[in-house]
């Protein structure tokens, strides 16, 4: 994680370059203040009409800049905690310059994707464009992904109003982290998301199904009927892959991509998969999980005692002593272990 304060020299390089190009200027007229400003390139993202912006009343220090659209690259305020020496006076970096400096350091003059909250479109991101493009003469960013905000139960999520919720609190309540992840990614990034318990619960059920599907595939790949991957299955996977990628290519249409997964799951669940089929599907899911990151990492294991109980129950079932087998099942359920009988033998998972 780069820290802004460690890139002051790189910021200085940009500021110097902008001054030399005449894109920025220094102000020394107002008291001891010395400022450099670059004119904003703008309206590029926000679509704001600059002349109208000038009419806006909230420009307090108009005297210091030539036009309201200008912004400070370097500021001077003896009372500020952070101070650096610079050719244009002792002071500290302006608002936006650190982003240009840091991104340039690591990603170069031009990079592909810049994300951020929609509240940063103006002025922050437009200032970044102005600085970076003014300095390099090249296109700064190819694609901007501006995420809409998160609301909580219909209210704006705001610390100042106490309307906040932290993932760690949800986890403490017993919500599975993967459910939170799935829920958050299920809404398109440009769509404002209203976080509700009800929707979280729904998302939780959905991802649970997906995880259960994955689990059953592993079981199948191991203990299911012998056989190689059927053409029908392979074709389904190929089709799903194409649709999945196409959905994400379309401005990250995650909802569409998720629908592909559910469609596929339903189709495959209706088939009697062999070990080869299951292995092929698992391969597909592993690929998809590079996007989702929801599949469990590593194998889960059972305590020896639970393992023994399961064997015990199997024995009871074989002699059709359902009373005993059900008792063991309930016992394990109370411990959070769910047992599922299948033609390939019993399967378990943690609740």
Find the shortest distance in angstroms from Cβ 6 to RNA: 13
**Rounded Cα–Cα distance for residues 15 and 23 (Å):** 10
Please, which of residues 96-155 interact with RNA by CB under 7 A?
Answer: 96, 98-99, 118-124, 148-149, 151
Please, which of residues 196-235 interact with RNA by CB under 7 A?
Answer: 196, 198-199, 201-203, 205-206, 209, 212-213, 216
Q: Determine the interface stretch with RNA among 132-140, 222-230, 286-294, 340-348 (rule: CB under 7 A).
A: 340-348
Q: Determine the interface stretch with RNA among 10-18, 188-196, 228-236, 300-308 (rule: CB under 7 A).
A: 188-196
Please, which of residues 275-334 interact with RNA by CB under 7 A?
Answer: 317, 322, 325-326, 329
**Rounded Cα–Cα distance for residues 17 and 19 (Å):** 5
Find the shortest distance in angstroms from Cβ 94 to RNA: 6
Q: Which of 4, 152, 295, 302 binds RNA (CB under 7 A)?
A: 4
Find the shortest distance in angstroms from Cβ 347 to RNA: 8
Q: Which of 72, 170, 281, 337 binds RNA (CB under 7 A)?
A: 72
Scanning the structure block, which residue is given the tokens 């919500």? 175
Please, which of residues 167-186 interact with RNA by CB under 7 A?
Answer: 186
256 contributes a contact to RNA by CB under 7 A: yes
Closest C-alpha to 305, from 340, 335, 338, 346:
335
345 contributes a contact to RNA by CB under 7 A: no
Who contacts 65 (Cβ-Cβ below 8 Å, separation ≥6)?
Answer: 27, 35, 37, 71, 72
Per-residue DSSP letter, 94: -
> CA 116: distance to chain centroid?
11
Q: Evaluate the CA torsion angle 294, 298, 299, 302 in order and state its sign.
A: negative
The pairing of beta strand 141-147 with beta strand 111-117: parallel
Contact yes or no for 125/100 (Cβ under 8 A): no
Contact yes or no for 263/240 (Cβ under 8 A): yes
Nearer to RNA, 137 or 342 (CB): 342
274 contributes a contact to RNA by CB under 7 A: no
Nearer to RNA, 26 or 186 (CB): 186
Find the shortest distance in angstroms from Cβ 68 to RNA: 4
Cis omega (within 30 of 0) for bond into 123: yes
Structure tokens belonging to residue 136: 């390099």
Nearer to RNA, 138 or 190 (CB): 190
């Amino acid at each position: 994680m780069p820290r802004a304060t460690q890139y002051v020299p790189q910021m200085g390089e940009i500021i110097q370059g902008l001054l030399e190009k005449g894109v920025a200027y220094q102000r020394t007229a107002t008291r001891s203040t010395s400022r450099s400003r670059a004119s904003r390139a703008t309206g590029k993202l926000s679509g704001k009409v600059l002349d109208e912006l000038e009419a806006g009343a909230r420009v307090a220090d108009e005297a210091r800049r030539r036009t309201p659209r200008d912004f400070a690259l370097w500021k001077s305020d003896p009372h500020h905690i952070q101070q650096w020496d610079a050719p244009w006076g002792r002071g500290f970096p302006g608002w936006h310059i650190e982003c240009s400096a840091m991104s340039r350091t690591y990603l170069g003059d031009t990079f592909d994707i810049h994300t951020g909250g929609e509240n940063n479109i103006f002025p922050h991101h437009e200032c970044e464009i102005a600085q970076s493009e003014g300095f390099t003469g090249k296109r700064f960013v190819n694609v901007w992904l501006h995420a809409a905000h998160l609301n909580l139960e219909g209210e704006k999520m705001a610390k100042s109003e106490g309307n906040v919720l932290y993932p760690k609190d949800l986890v403490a309540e017993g919500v599975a982290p993967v459910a939170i992840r799935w829920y958050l990614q299920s809404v398109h990034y440009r769509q404002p998301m209203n976080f509700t318990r009800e929707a979280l619960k729904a998302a939780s059920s959905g991802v649970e199904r997906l995880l259960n599907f994955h689990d059953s595939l592993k079981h199948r790949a191991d203990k299911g009927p012998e056989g190689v991957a059927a053409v029908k299955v392979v074709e389904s996977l190929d089709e799903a892959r194409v649709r999945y990628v196409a959905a994400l290519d379309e401005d990250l249409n995650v909802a569409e991509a998720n629908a592909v997964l559910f469609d596929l799951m339903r189709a495959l669940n209706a088939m009697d998969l062999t070990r080869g089929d299951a292995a092929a599907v698992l391969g597909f899911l592993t690929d998809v999980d590079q996007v989702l990151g929801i599949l469990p990492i590593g194998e889960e294991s059972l305590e020896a005692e639970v393992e023994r109980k399961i064997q015990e129950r199997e024995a009871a079932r074989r002699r059709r002593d359902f009373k005993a087998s059900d008792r063991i099942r309930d016992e394990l359920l109370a411990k959070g272990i769910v047992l599922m009988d299948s033609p390939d033998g019993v399967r378990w998972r943690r609740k």
